[in-house]
Structure 1
Amino acid sequence: MRKILLLVSLPVTAFFAISCSEDGVHYQEFNYTTPETYTFERSGASTVDFTGQTNRILMLDEMGAYIKNQGNAGAVVDASKLSDMFSNVNGQFTNADLNAATDKQLKNKTAASTDFFVNFNGDGSAVEPLSVRFFFENQFTNANLASGGHEASAGTAGTYLDGTSKRLFAVNGLEPQQVLLKGMMGACFLDQIVNNYLSKNVLDQGSNRANNTNKVLEQGQNYTKMEHLWDEAYGYIYGGDDLAAESPVRKFWSSYIKQVDDDSDFGTLKEDIELAFRKGRAAITAGDYVTRDMQIDIIKEKLALVPAVRAVFYLKEGKAKLATDGGAKAFHELSEGYGFIMSLRYTNKPGTNMPYMTKAEVDAILNELTGGTFGLWDVDYLNEHIDGLAEQIATRFGFTVAEAETVN
């Protein structure tokens, strides 16, 4: 039986893999360095490309901005327009480049990973992708029903004033815009990162490993297939970071990683994720697949903490605002928490190829959160249930509620 032991040095020096077998110990040296930034070149030209991921980040951002702007204006949200944007048809984006990228869309990448939905690992099924996509399209309908300027109340969709902003709330008190944004961060972006592009079933599919080892580049490109797959995972986190400073785009996972990292209880999370991406990419170019796989596990573990910590934070923040700021602020926070709880189903626990929380467990938490009379409008019900839900999530992911509450 063959065993692998890896000796990993500092980020900028060489890596040595030691393979042990019954025949003895064999040493394989990989003479490469890990760069200080995510910069990789071949023959003086960049090998990094995650244009498709940047496009999808921009698509989701524009969908969220459309709902927000219509709500603030007291105008009607067009659910069919949002549905078109979801599928990228009929040229509905204000960004002409997104309309031109007709081969890129959000819908067909939602709940669509190889490990959880194509191969049906992680308690996935052929039915689930359709139901998840329908759920998000239902948020378009909810936003439409809430729009137009009429006031929200228990059991009535409408507008609720949050300071100077007008927020749209569904009949159960959830904010469709926030459920869409945070939920899609999990069902699309996170699912694609950890269950698809960082899946060994995808990275090593067919001749990918042999072609990568032999530096067989994709036709007309300056990268191997494996290099590009890794870059696509990276792009779902950082694909919005290099846009112009004046751009209104949300950074999504990149932004929330930083927020969690800013808390001393999770202080190296951002650096750990960034280093693992750089180290794994360098390892791929060098053909060092043992190091690559180690970095996959680091990314999966560290990234899973982000939606869990934010879910607990928003649950507790929402509960606090129920008593101090009233419905709009509290419902906004709880809706963000709802979306991050949804994301927990798409995490991937290293060594298991399963989520940290199963779909059934996540659904049970979501159902309990909205289980009061008219959902979030039942403040007494929420006050009785939120603490237990927060504790359940924190315990599963290995931190305390108190630690998550201090993340701003």
Structure 2
Amino acid sequence: MTFKKVVNIGIAVTLTAFTFGCNVNDGDDNETISPPDNYEFSRDGSSSVAYPGQTDRLKMLDEIDSYVGKGDKGEELSEQALLDMYENKDGNGGGNFDFTSDRQLKNKTFPNDLDNNFYENLFAQASAASKKGTQASNGQAGLIARADGDNILVDANGREFGQLIEKGLMGSVFYHQIFNVYLTDDRIGPDVDNSNLEEGKNYTAKEHHFDEAFGYFGAPVDFESDWPESRESEAKFWADYSNGSDAELGFNDILMDAFIKGRTAIVNKDQTALTEQVDILYEKLELLAAATTIHYINSTLDHLSAGEQGEAFHTLSEAWAFANALKYSPRRKITVDQLTTIQETDFGDNGNFWNVDSKGLNKAKSTLVEIYPELKDVQDQL
């Protein structure tokens, strides 16, 4: 299974038509629709789907990731540039984005991470490490070589800055917004307006909120299992990792089916059917993060066995970040204490990758399989 690095965001955003009609469904208010093949919904002949804010934030993270990658090449990183991109200063990331937007990542970040300045601290540490130009060692941030001759920039514990920032924001912004904002009763519950169109738009508030959750998933509207290799780059961030484990667990069809049926239920004003699909999304998106964590634990075990320390730190950084994403679900099966043990003990005593060994990695893997038994039969294939 290949987990392709996310590059060149190009999500197609369906623009909403400006209309002042008030009927929720095509045709009569009492008419119901069947789930369409793709995530495409319309009213009066025009699309009723829009999530431009989500598309902008996916593009922002892609460009932040590209910038942080310069540190792996030995270039100095600017702490201020990273802060400007995170806050989207002046609408173009302080001149670092190749597009303009009035959105940002910072104000959508999980509150605890925001209060703890988690990303600001990472930016400062990454910048300082890049300016030293030193080789990493236990307790010393710097560069460490990978098997292919490239380097990664790591902190004093061997954690790769690029992975902590990119995969971290996938969790604390994208996952958090799906789980704790857009799939909640405050946004799609029975009391949310689903009768009147928002002013100047072709969607109700409830429709739009659900579309925004879908936007953070990062999938093309026709995403499905057996996704063609020629279109792999169209699946972004979480959708990309869904595709990575689709052969073993069928995530693409499962998640798209739930998104499409959930949006259909909103059109049909069927709260019971909507709740059923939301339950599936909470469960399967959490399972996706757990499966991806195991995938990277497996990769780390292979690299440690081959004596490839730089590669091991690279994949272990991804495992750490995907395990960390599990904490953002309010319905998570895994406890915070279990996650802390995985991150701070199993992945190396005191969270130090320089101390990691196969025993700890296998223990973390066993913990995840026990909590998520659906992964038992495929744990070694992920």
Q: CA 1:57–1:241 in structure 2 vs 1: closer, same or farther (change >3 Å)?
A: farther
Q: How far apart, CA to CA, are the structure 2 residues paired with 1:293 and 1:89?
A: 38
* Alignment pair present for 1:388 and 2:371: no
Trace 1:5-404 onto structure 2 (pairs within 5 A).
31-72=32-73, 74-90=74-90, 91-92=93-94, 94-97=96-99, 100-102=100-102, 104-112=103-111, 128-131=112-115, 134-148=117-131, 149-162=133-146, 163-204=148-189, 208=192, 211-212=193-194, 215-238=195-218, 251-263=236-248, 266=249, 268-348=250-330, 354-372=331-349, 375-379=352-356, 382-400=357-375, 403-404=378-379
Q: How far apart, CA to CA, are the structure 1 residues paired with 2:264 and 2:70?
A: 42
Q: Secondary structure at the match of 1:147?
A: helix
Q: CA 1:37–1:189 in structure 2 vs 1: closer, same or farther (change >3 Å)?
A: same
Q: How far apart, CA to CA, are the structure 2 residues paired with 1:386 and 1:330?
A: 11
Q: How far apart, CA to CA, are the structure 2 residues paired with 1:145 and 1:252?
A: 27
Normalised by the length of structure 1, the TM-score is 0.78
Higher RCO (CA < 8 A, seq sep 6+): 2
State the 1:239 CA deviation.
5.7
Indicate if the aligned counterparts of 1:145 and 1:170 stay in contact, CA closer than 8 A: no
Q: Which runs of 4+ in 1 moved over 4 A?
A: 239-242, 245-250
Q: Which deviations, in whole Å up to 9, do the C-alpha atoms of 1:153-190 show, x marking residues without a partner? A: 22111112221422111110000110111122111111
Amino acid at match of 1:256: Y
Choose 1 or 2 for highest CA Rg: 1
Indicate if the aligned counterparts of 2:32 and 2:267 stay in contact, CA closer than 8 A: no
Q: Secondary structure at the match of 2:349?
A: coil
Q: CA 1:151–1:246 in structure 2 vs 1: closer, same or farther (change >3 Å)?
A: farther
Q: CA 1:246–1:269 in structure 2 vs 1: closer, same or farther (change >3 Å)?
A: closer
Q: How far apart, CA to CA, are the structure 2 residues paired with 1:179 and 1:294?
A: 33
Amino acid at match of 2:368: I
Any stretches of 5+ residues in structure 1 without a counterpart?
1-28, 113-127, 349-353
Any stretches of 5+ residues in structure 2 without a counterpart?
1-29, 223-229
Amino acid at match of 2:342: I
State the 1:285 CA deviation.
1.0
Amino acid at match of 1:106: L
Q: How far apart, CA to CA, are the structure 2 residues paired with 1:106 and 1:406?
A: 34
Q: How far apart, CA to CA, are the structure 1 residues paired with 2:44 and 2:59?
A: 31
Q: CA 1:46–1:295 in structure 2 vs 1: closer, same or farther (change >3 Å)?
A: same
Normalised by the length of structure 2, the TM-score is 0.83
Q: CA 1:303–1:320 in structure 2 vs 1: closer, same or farther (change >3 Å)?
A: same
Q: How far apart, CA to CA, are the structure 2 residues paired with 1:94 and 1:131?
A: 25
Q: Secondary structure at the match of 2:210?
A: helix
Indicate if the aligned counterparts of 1:76 and 1:147 stay in contact, CA closer than 8 A: yes
Please identify which structure carries the higher strand content.
Answer: 1
Q: Which deviations, in whole Å up to 9, do the C-alpha atoms of 1:123-147 show, x marking residues without a partner? A: xxxxx24345x22222212322331
State the 1:226 CA deviation.
0.2
Q: CA 1:231–1:269 in structure 2 vs 1: closer, same or farther (change >3 Å)?
A: same
CA RMSD of aligned residues (A): 2.5
Q: Secondary structure at the match of 1:168?
A: strand
Q: CA 1:250–1:75 in structure 2 vs 1: closer, same or farther (change >3 Å)?
A: farther
Q: How far apart, CA to CA, are the structure 1 residues paired with 2:232 and 2:82?
A: 21
State the 1:362 CA deviation.
1.9
Q: How far apart, CA to CA, are the structure 1 residues paired with 2:221 and 2:118?
A: 29
State the 1:303 CA deviation.
1.1
Q: Which deviations, in whole Å up to 9, do the C-alpha atoms of 1:202-243 show, x marking residues without a partner? A: 2137x52xx31xx3000111100000000000000126789x
Q: CA 1:282–1:297 in structure 2 vs 1: closer, same or farther (change >3 Å)?
A: same
Q: How far apart, CA to CA, are the structure 2 residues paired with 1:41 and 1:270?
A: 23
State the 1:80 CA deviation.
1.9
Indicate if the aligned counterparts of 1:50 and 1:235 stay in contact, CA closer than 8 A: yes
Q: How far apart, CA to CA, are the structure 1 residues paired with 2:189 and 2:207?
A: 11
Q: CA 1:190–1:313 in structure 2 vs 1: closer, same or farther (change >3 Å)?
A: same
